[in-house]
Amino acid sequence: MRKRRIAILGSTGSIGRQALDVVARHPELFEVVALSAHSQAELLFDQVRAHRPRLAGLSAGEVPLPVDVRGSQWFFGPEALSQIAGLADCDDVLVSVVGMVGLAGVLAARQAGRRVLLANKEALVAGGHLVMSLCPPSADDPTLIPVDSEHSAIYQCLMAAAHNPYERIILTASGGPFRDFTSKQMREVQPQDALRHPNWQMGPKITVDSASMFNKALELIEAKWLFDAGTDQLEVLIHPQSIVHSMVAFADGAVLAQLGLPDMRAPIAFAMAYPKRIVSGTAPLRLDQLGTLQFEAPDTERFPALRLAVQALRAGGAASCVLNAANEVAVDAFLKRRIRFTDIAAVVEDSLQGLGALPADSLEAVMEADRLARDRAGRQITRITLEDT
């Protein structure tokens, strides 16, 4: 069998490294043809030495190249990602970069006709309409396979549904470290508390997003685009053990769920080897040892993120892009101790109120909405810091 040729954008991040772990387990199945990172040059050099990709890039800018990595063609700077996505001679492009840069990467990969394995949130949240217009549905040869554990679960449940329409999508959420906190306790939360996720090992931005449930808000928006869901078909269910990765409900009352231990290598391997199932390194699930799985409704009073996501979905246009950008600026300010944890949602709400009706019909329009939301969120954060002192 011919190897699947894969380009990995964001290969030094958590998802990228785990994808390379899956490749290392199956050298007979995969060939790495391109690797890119933002600024972790030394780790990228090691990956290039191990996989010898034809293309490589660093989006943070040019650095001196060690002699033994010069066999690859190198790209530097903000355009590197889209250049590699467009030029890589490959079957699949795994987009596992963090941030808005993922949108341009996804669009470039699709314009070049590559299948996108999507582990970047911003592409669909900010540019869902643009991305999906380049991703026609195809049962035999999918153009876009989600890597996020929840969306991978929903994708797998829908595969098992033999093209029957679904009634509801139920995204599970661990509830994060503050699931049982009072509103008062949440006001006092410090960055180090928010950076401790009970189940998943992830980067700092997504870990804070999990604690605030903005991660689930972004995932609701992604699910709308990926599965063409109406806002009232999307539900969130708190499930602290993170074993049921998400569920889909059908007209006959049946609910299909996908289960597994919380290990991202499972959804990564699923996307990379689709439609085959291969060893991913994830340990087997033993439900008898777990005993109990819990479920409860989310509290949108303490976690306004879910309410704001629904508001953004109903507003349409660039509202989701605004939500994402304002959240990113607010999380950064929280990690720098400039605002409180509970201010994150307030900053996002303010941006949605002021900028909720911008268009998102081109990459330029999306980038402009993103810029305006960052500006407004920045001004709102300054206001909050001044009030607090």
The tokens of 185 are what? 């306790």
* CB nearer Mg ion, residue 10 or residue 86: 10
48 close to 67: Cβ distance less than 8 angstroms = no
- Do 210 and 176 form a contact (C-beta atoms < 8 A)? yes
Residue 363's alpha-carbon distances to 85, 128, 367, in angstroms, are: 16, 11, 6
Beta pairing, strands 30-37 & 4-9: parallel
CB closer to Mg ion out of 36 and 242? 242
For Mg ion (CB under 5 A), the number of binding residues is 3
Nearest distance from C-beta of residue 44 to Mg ion, angstroms? 25
- Where does 161-239 have alpha helices with state H? 183-187, 191-194, 204-212, 214-226
Nearest CB to Mg ion, comparing residues 149 and 280: 149
Question: How many angstroms separate the first and last alpha carbons of the chain?
Answer: 65
Nearer of residues 154 and 358 to Mg ion, judged by Cβ: 154
Q: Please give the residues from 85 up to 124 whose contact with Mg ion meets the rule CB under 5 A.
A: none
Reading across the β-sheet that carries 4-9, which strands appear in turn? 73-76, 55-58, 30-37, 4-9, 92-95, 115-118, 144-146
| Range 199-238, binding Mg ion (CB under 5 A) | none
Helix H or strand E encompassing 203: none
Give the shortest CB-62-to-Mg ion separation in angstroms.
34
* Cβ 89 to Mg ion shortest distance, Å: 31
171-184 burial, b at 16+ Cβ within 10 Å, e below that, comes to bbbbbbbbbebeee
Distance from C-alpha of 297 to C-alpha of 313, rounded to nearest angstrom: 20
Distance in Å, CB of 246 to Mg ion, minimum: 9
167 and 251 Cβ atoms separated by less than 8 Å: yes
Least distance between Mg ion and beta carbon 18 (Å): 14
Of residues 126-155, those binding Mg ion (CB under 5 A): 148-150
Which residue lies nearer to Mg ion by CB, 218 or 325?
Answer: 218
DSSP 3-state of 91: coil
Residue nearest to Mg ion (CB): 148
Cα–Cα distance list, 87 to 165, 276, 335 (Å): 37, 27, 37
Give 118 or 321: the residue with its C-beta nearer to Mg ion.
Answer: 118
Least Å distance, CB 37 to Mg ion, is: 22
Q: Is the dihedral of CA 167, 239, 204, 273 positive or negative?
A: negative
- Binding-site string for Mg ion from residue 148 to residue 187, where x marks contact by CB under 5 A and - marks none: xxx-------------------------------------
As measured in angstroms, the least distance from the Cβ of 152 to Mg ion is 9
Name the residue among 140, 139, 138, 97 with its Cα closest to residue 117: 97
User: Scanning the structure block, which residue is given the tokens 């291969």?
Assistant: 278
Residue 27 φ/ψ, nearest 5 degrees: -60, -20
For the packed helices 343-355 and 363-388, what is the interaxial angle rounded to 10 degrees? 130
Shortest distance, position 200 Cβ to Mg ion, whole Å: 8
Q: In terms of CB distance, is 148 or 350 closer to Mg ion? A: 148
Q: Which two tokens stand for residue 132?
A: 């999906």
For Mg ion, the closer of residues 271 and 355 by Cβ is: 271
Minimum separation from the CB atom of position 33 to Mg ion (A)? 27
Q: Which is nearer to Mg ion, 50 or 259 (CB)?
A: 259
* Identity of the residue, 59 or 149, whose beta carbon is nearer to Mg ion in the bound complex: 149
Q: Residue 313 CB, nearest distance to Mg ion (Å)?
A: 18
Which positions touch Mg ion (CB under 5 A)? Answer: 148-150
